[in-house]
Amino acid sequence: MADFFAAAPQLVGLFTPAASYQTGAFRDGDPASSEGLFAAKFWGQYWATLAALPALREGAAVVLMSGAASARPIGAPAYAACNAALEGLARGLAIELAPLRVNCLSPGTTDSDLWRNRAEDIRNSAYTAWAGMTVQGRPATVQEQAHAAIFLLDNTHMTGSTLYCDGGYTLR
């Protein structure tokens, strides 16, 4: 990863949105899903941010990605804990790396390839459940999440904050 950033021009921002992981119930005690989740989602963003530091120019921004389960878990406690840890990481890095700005985007269910690649019945069931749990009554679009990330990258006075782009999920 360091080689990638060493070859990059000076960056004005870093957004770390993607991770591949599984979630599971606490009672299942499955290390592969619980530890694998942290390895992919938390440590992946942690190490990517560290590797990018030399390539980030003064005044740059970093946007980490957690998930609304940090504030309102509905199961899969390791997933909720991982998302909360990422939000804490953003706050800690905002202090340590200042004047770099570090924020966290916390999306809710989003109509993205993650869901489109799942079976239609599973996707539709999840979307219906999500609609009933949010103020907006629907999943977000990828474009809405991208706009939220760009806001955090562009706003030069935001740092150490978590933006919940979840359609009001955390309000219910």
pLDDT digits (tens, 9 = 90+) for 17-68: 877 788 888 998 888 888 999 999 999 999 999 999 999 999 999 999 999 9
- Please tell me which residue, 25 or 128, carries the higher pLDDT value: 128
CB 112 within 8 A of CB 73: no
User: Catalytic: 79?
Assistant: yes
Confidence at 143, pLDDT banded by 50, 70, 90: very high
Which of 79, 127, 164, 169 is catalytic? The answer is 79
| Mean pLDDT of the region 60-80 | 95
Q: What is the mean pLDDT of the chain?
A: 94
On the question of pLDDT at 165 being above 90, the answer is yes
On the question of pLDDT at 108 being above 80, the answer is yes
How large a percentage of the chain has pLDDT more than 70?
100
pLDDT at position 8 is 78
Helix axes 77-96, 43-52, angle to 10 degrees: 20
- Rounded to whole angstroms, the Cα distance separating 28 from 129 reads 23
pLDDT at position 62 is 98
pTM over 0.85: yes
